[in-house]
Amino acid sequence: MERMLDFRIASKIENIYPVEREILQQANQLGFDDNACFCLRLAMDEALINAIIHGNRNAEEKKIHIKALFNSESVAVTVQDEGDGFDRSQLCDPTEAPHLYETHGRGVFLIRQFTHELRFNDKGNEITFVVHQSHTPAALQNNPLAV
């Protein structure tokens, strides 16, 4: 069984939470466990906030398009903004000096750590990540803080 949810929202942070709730509700109904839902929520937060702030530059007239495609084993979420995109090769590694103590620049890193697959379009204004319900991403394995 496949199911798709499709949303278009204005670039305002408060608009992301109803979308996340609906996607998480569907994941729960399909049997995603607490770890999978945690990873999904974290990745959605990072991707949606990045789309609003960095992609659309907080321009409320610009839209964010979100698609979530569910099947019995995983959910793939695509977030696309109306911005100019970015060059992935310019991303810094937040685990290395001098970026260790910066308070930003960790979104894509976190998404990569807490999902199973990660893709960008060539323009750099669309991200797709996949969370599987059957196995925990490496970031949560053997972690005493895992949910």
Please name the amino acid found at residue 111: I
Domain boundaries, the chain: 3-140
Cβ-Cβ contacts under 8 Å for 76 (sequence gap 6 or more): 68, 69, 117, 128, 129, 130
In CATH, what is the architecture of 3-140? 2-Layer Sandwich (3.30)
60-78: string of b/e by CB count within 10 Å (b at 16+)?
Answer: eebbbebbbbbeeebbbbb
Which strands make up the sheet holding 117-120, listed edge to edge? Answer: 3-10, 63-70, 74-80, 126-132, 117-120
Q: What is the pLDDT of residues 94-134, one digit of tens each?
A: 677 776 667 666 789 999 999 999 999 999 999 999 999 87
pLDDT of residue 103: 63
**Beta bridge mates, 132:** 74
Q: What is the pLDDT of residues 61-94, one digit of tens each?
A: 999 999 999 998 999 999 999 999 988 777 777 6
